[in-house]
Structure 1
Amino acid sequence: MLTKQYRKRRFGRFVLPAITAAFLAYFGYHSVHGEFGLKATEKFLQQKAERQQKLADLQHRRKALERQVSALSDGSIQKDMLDEEARAQLNMSRPDEIVIFH
Structure 2
Amino acid sequence: MKVVRMFRRAVRAIVPPALFLGLTAYFGWNAMQGDHGIHAYHQQLQLREQALQAQRDANDEQIVWKRRVASLDERALNADMLDERARAMLNLARTGDLVIPYGPHDKLY
TM class, shorter-length: 0.5 to 0.7
> Within 5 A, what are the aligned runs for 1:1-102?
7-8=5-6, 9=8, 10-73=10-73, 75-79=74-78, 80=81, 92=89, 94=91, 96=102, 97-99=107-109
Does structure 2 conserve the Cα–Cα contact (< 8 Å) formed by 1:72 and 1:82? Answer: no
**Max radius of gyration: which structure?**
2
**TM-score, structure 2 length as denominator?**
0.64
- Deviation by residue 1:76-100 (Cα, 9 ceiling, x = unmatched): 241447977x7xxxxx57585444x
RMSD (Å), alpha carbons? 2.9
Higher relative contact order (CA 8 A, sep 6+): 1
Structure 1: runs of 5 or more not aligned: 87-91
Gaps of 5+ in 2: 92-100
Q: TM-score, normalised by structure 1?
A: 0.68
Percent sequence identity over matched residues? Answer: 25
Partner of 1:89: none
Q: How many residues align?
A: 88
